[in-house]
Structure formats: structure tokens, C-alpha cells
Amino acid sequence: MSLRQNLIANYLGQGWTALMSLAFVPFYIKLMGVESYGIVGVFTSLIGVLAILELGLSQAMNREMARLSVDQENAQLMANTARTLEPV
């Protein structure tokens, strides 16, 4: 397939997904209730935001570990860096 066909298929797939997510909202509300659907929406938004933040932290940690792994004397510093970012 050509690049153009792949792009068109990708956009059509994303559009279909967006359309179906909107089309099923009344069904979800009827099934779960407005309050439950709202809670699910809040948690879904929170998970999305935290996933974006986590991507930045994991890349920073990988870069720092790669930089520190060059020298054996940095073993304790590597452990401290891993322990610092672990709770986050």
C-alpha cells in the first residue's frame, strides 16, 4: 500500500472510532447511570494525563541511566537516581 492509502485508512479508522465513541454514550449512560459514567470519565482523563507525565519521566530516567552507566564509579548514583524516581 502507498503512503497516501495508509494515511487515508488511518484517518478513516480514527474518525470511525470517534464517531462510535459518541454514538454509544447514550447506551452507556442508560446502562450505568449518569453519575457512574461521570466517574468513569474522570478516571479515564486522569489516567490519560498520568500516562503523558509517565512518558516524560521514563525517558528522562533511561537517558540518565545510560549516561551514568559509562563509569563503574557511578553505581551508587544510579541506585539513588532509580530510588528517587521509583515512587513517582
| Same domain? 42 vs 19 | no
Whether this prediction's pTM lies above 0.75 is answered by: no
Q: In this predicted model, what pLDDT tens digit does every residue of 24-81 receive, in sequence order? A: 888 888 999 999 989 988 998 998 888 887 777 888 888 989 999 898 888 899 999 8
Give dist(CA 9, CA 60) in Å, integer.
Answer: 34
HEC-encoded secondary structure of the chain: CCHHHHHHHHHHHHHHHHHHHHHCHHHHHHHHCHHHHHHHHHHHHHHHHHHHHHHHHHHHHHHHHHHHCCCHHHHHHHHHHHHHHCCC
Range of the domain at 73: 33-88
How high is the pLDDT of residue 52? 80
Mean pLDDT within 2-27: 91
Please tell me whether residues 39 and 57 are part of one structural domain: yes
pLDDT at 10 over 90: yes
User: Looking at the structure, do residues 27 and 52 belong to the same domain, yes or no?
Assistant: no
**How far out from the chain centre does Cα 19 lie?**
22
